[in-house]
Structure 1
Amino acid sequence: MSAQQALPATHRALVQRDYGKPLVVEDIPTPQPVPGSAVLRVEAAAVVSYQKLAYNGTWPNRYLTPIVPGSWAIGRVAAVGPDAVSLQSGALVLFSNFIHARDDPSIAFLSGFADFAQPGSRKLMSGEWRESTYGQYAKVPLENCFPLDEARLCGSPDSGGLGYKIEQLMWAGLALVGYGGLRSIEVKAGETVVIAPATGGFSGAAAVVAVAMGARVIAMGRNKDTMKYLEGLSPRIHTVPMTGNEEEEMKELARFGCIDAFLDLSPAAATESAHLKSAIKSLRAGGRVSLMGGLLGDSVFPYRSVVHKSLTVKGQWMYSPEDARDMIKMIENGILSLNHVSVAGKFSLEQWEQAFEVAAGMKFNDVTVLSG
């Protein structure tokens, strides 16, 4: 293993001392590697559309403070614990902030964002993994670091590279969520999958991923501009407006013939939306449903259709490590292109408020990042 770089005694990071209070940039001790960990020099950390709401107390994603907030990130390995055998110092990696407890995989949390009020996840997020990626350095679990072929991804096309910027690679974090849902119901090449709503950050990315997997996509949504943009990305993406009228939506979906699967990525506000029933009722016999949305309350479900059509309905929370590795292969092999990804903004830690504002207005093909 190549020699590890010397870590500075301190580093700059965004810190939230009290829940719901503004973040501040502080100099804090640089994390040191321990068994089972890597310390990353953060190149770019994702800022998502709801980041502002997550930290001002508006969203119900309680966590204990103080913390260094954060999200998924692209970083370089600066140091590793004594049990690391493959990660090389200086290597570029994708850090997944979906962290599981090693001795109980049912316990999970989102680093720097939410502990979901489980005793086990709260212990981890407020203890060993309290500091996330909105800093110059971050200590993270080894198993959450996924190596990236930097020469292939960022190299010049003249030398066999794909020519992506590091910031563009951040889009993989958006795409990975939908990929986890599509994989959970085994969407195959040649199949037709409904994705709804498909005009948000994660859901729009899921439509692009499904096409790369070989599927035909029916994207449902209300944002006409985003739906038109999606259609322009591939002849295998078709759109159906979400009108709130179940019969109208089913009539539109029927135009596409046999529908094999449905990926639901409903936001919290969509509890009463008609699309859940119209999409499920439009599936063929033996069709599959993956529920990945953020609905907070109970929703009316077409029970009879599920029974009479022998449908498979599966809840899916995020994605597996295998999903992450396989999707990275799709990107490195040029099967899943990032050419449509634009960088909405790259901001310093001191510009975090501006970054949060820009991210709130992002389209699904945009990325906004913080960098120390």
Structure 2
Amino acid sequence: MPSHNLPSTQTALVQTTYAQALEIKTIPTPEPLPGTAVVKILSAPVLSYAKQVYDGTRKYPYPTPFTPGTSAIGRIAALGSDSTALQIGQLVYVDCVMRSRDNPGDIFLLGLHQGASAGSKKLMTEIWRDGTWAEYCRVPLESVLPLNEARLMGELGYRVADLATIGQFLVVYGGLRDIGIQAGETVVVAPATGGFGGAAVVVALAMGASVIAMGRSETALAKLAGRFEGRVKTVQMTGDVAKDAEELKRASGGSINAVFDIPPPMAAKSTHLKSCIMAVNHGGRVSLMGGIYDDVPIPYQLVVHKDLSLKGKWMYGRNDMEIVIKMVESTVLKIGQLGGVKIVGDYTFEDWEEALNTADKYAGWGSSVAMRPSKK
């Protein structure tokens, strides 16, 4: 007999055929296995580009049929027999970064992308196919992090939809920490007006750095900088490589320690990275976290003669997650509406199409969309 009170079936969003419309279906509720937790989903974020992923525009690889949905906020509903710390009913963050236990290089994103290796494809296809856009989701124990509910929702007043925005901040913290951002340093965030770029500005400031935000829209840059009372300088991307480099130097007062580069796929021909490399200090560091799939030219000799470090980073580790959660609980880092990110839509799974359209419409920094199961 099962030692839990899970229902035998649940309601979930399912994509039966790649790039075709999602459907609300009744499917079996996952059972807890050793090494896993079953989480009752309370709120799951909708990525700004989710519509482009699930309609096939971005051509992300993943198996079908499957249940989409990346990270989430939920409560522990059932636990595998080897769990020793988590408790039934506990509020938790469900992370989407999934790794092989015997080869951490096999990594994929739950409900979104099967990764780049044969091992990661096997994991998503055969083991962890279904994501968080369901009433219940089974995930590895190491993908579940406890949250201090009394502190976050009681004392600080966060709602579950606010807490669901934490994934944006985790991604960029992974890259910023990877290049060793220190208090007092100056970092360029480029471009800074998208969802992840804006999050990088917030996190870099929380880490004690000064920030120069780059972007194409003067209006969006001014709006971003206005939230931080003079703590963020801005430089508009003009496409003039030398001019943009000089503007970066001017904005920094002559010292740039690091660059955080997180452009979207369509920015493959952007010149901003070259301008940043021209402007960064000797011995500077560059974090590459963007979604560009094409080859991008770099000023090779400048990289050599300036002793620059260029580091690629895909996502983050568990220790990064633990640190970010502590930053939120201590108010060093404010997320959700407390951090200036307005929840512009909080939909049930039945309204998934409207949710994806709203997320697509509000793709820039400062807005977020969430989905949740219907109340029964």
TM-score normalised to structure 2 length: 0.95
Q: In the alignment, is residue 179 of structure 1 matched against residue 180 of structure 2?
A: no
Residue 171 of structure 2 contacts residue 316 of structure 2 at CA under 8 Å; is this kept in 1?
A: yes
The aligned residue for residue 351 of structure 1 is 351
The aligned residue for residue 163 of structure 2 is 169
Which AA in structure 2 matches 1:366? Answer: S
Residue 73 of structure 2 contacts residue 164 of structure 2 at CA under 8 Å; is this kept in 1?
A: yes
The aligned residue for residue 284 of structure 1 is 281
Q: 2:246 aligns with which of 242, 251, 274?
A: 251
Residue 72 of structure 1 contacts residue 133 of structure 1 at CA under 8 Å; is this kept in 2?
A: yes
CA drift of 1:172 comes to 1.0
The aligned residue for residue 149 of structure 1 is 148
CA drift of 1:117 comes to 5.0
CA drift of 1:107 comes to 0.5
- 1:178, 1:230 → 2: CA distance? 17
The aligned residue for residue 78 of structure 1 is 77
User: The residue matched to 1:132 in structure 2 has which SS?
Assistant: coil
- 2:107, 2:245 → 1: CA distance? 37
- 1:260, 1:204 → 2: CA distance? 19
The aligned residue for residue 68 of structure 2 is 69
The aligned residue for residue 139 of structure 1 is 138
- 1:125, 1:9 → 2: CA distance? 23
Percent sequence identity is: 47
The aligned residue for residue 316 of structure 1 is 313
Q: In the alignment, is residue 40 of structure 1 matched against residue 35 of structure 2?
A: no
Number of aligned positions between the proteins = 365
The aligned residue for residue 236 of structure 2 is 241
Deviates more, 1:226-235 or 1:143-152: 226-235
- 2:305, 2:329 → 1: CA distance? 42
The aligned residue for residue 158 of structure 1 is none
- 2:352, 2:292 → 1: CA distance? 28
Q: In the alignment, is residue 53 of structure 1 matched against residue 46 of structure 2?
A: no
Residue 100 of structure 1 contacts residue 107 of structure 1 at CA under 8 Å; is this kept in 2?
A: yes
- 2:267, 2:3 → 1: CA distance? 48
Deviates more, 1:227-236 or 1:290-299: 227-236
The aligned residue for residue 91 of structure 1 is 90
The aligned residue for residue 364 of structure 1 is 365
Q: In the alignment, is residue 203 of structure 1 matched against residue 190 of structure 2?
A: no
Q: 2:258 aligns with which of 257, 261, 269?
A: 261
Residues 110-160 of structure 1 deviation map (CA, whole Å, 9 limit, x = unaligned): 1111113532112111222111100010001110111111111111xxxxx
User: The residue matched to 2:370 in structure 1 has which SS?
Assistant: strand
CA drift of 1:225 comes to 2.9
The aligned residue for residue 194 of structure 1 is 188
Which AA in structure 1 matches 2:238? Answer: T
For structure 1, the 5+ residue unaligned runs are 156-160
Residues 177-207 of structure 1 deviation map (CA, whole Å, 9 limit, x = unaligned): 1111100000000000001011111111111
User: The residue matched to 1:369 in structure 2 has which SS?
Assistant: strand
Residues 43-92 of structure 1 deviation map (CA, whole Å, 9 limit, x = unaligned): 01110111111111111212111101111111111011011111111111
User: The residue matched to 2:86 in structure 1 has which SS?
Assistant: coil
Residue 15 of structure 2 contacts residue 66 of structure 2 at CA under 8 Å; is this kept in 1?
A: yes
User: The residue matched to 2:200 in structure 1 has which SS?
Assistant: helix
Residues 257-314 of structure 1 deviation map (CA, whole Å, 9 limit, x = unaligned): 2000001001111111110100011111111111111111111101111111111111
Which AA in structure 2 matches 1:367? Answer: S
Pairing of 1:93-132 with structure 2 (within 5 A): 93-116=92-115, 118-132=117-131
Which AA in structure 2 matches 1:180? Answer: G
CA drift of 1:233 comes to 2.0
The aligned residue for residue 304 of structure 1 is 301
- 2:226, 2:25 → 1: CA distance? 45
Q: CA RMSD in A?
A: 1.3
Residue 106 of structure 2 contacts residue 115 of structure 2 at CA under 8 Å; is this kept in 1?
A: no
CA drift of 1:238 comes to 1.1
Which AA in structure 2 matches 1:364? Answer: W
Residue 171 of structure 2 contacts residue 315 of structure 2 at CA under 8 Å; is this kept in 1?
A: yes
Q: 1:273 aligns with which of 270, 273, 276?
A: 270
CA drift of 1:364 comes to 1.9
User: The residue matched to 2:106 in structure 1 has which SS?
Assistant: strand
TM-score normalised to structure 1 length: 0.96
The aligned residue for residue 335 of structure 1 is 332
Which AA in structure 1 matches 2:206? Answer: A
Q: In the alignment, is residue 226 of structure 1 matched against residue 220 of structure 2?
A: yes
Which AA in structure 2 matches 1:217? Answer: V
- 1:118, 1:324 → 2: CA distance? 24
- 2:141, 2:156 → 1: CA distance? 27
Residue 182 of structure 2 contacts residue 208 of structure 2 at CA under 8 Å; is this kept in 1?
A: yes
CA drift of 1:4 comes to 7.0
CA drift of 1:227 comes to 1.1
Residue 172 of structure 2 contacts residue 199 of structure 2 at CA under 8 Å; is this kept in 1?
A: yes
CA drift of 1:341 comes to 2.2
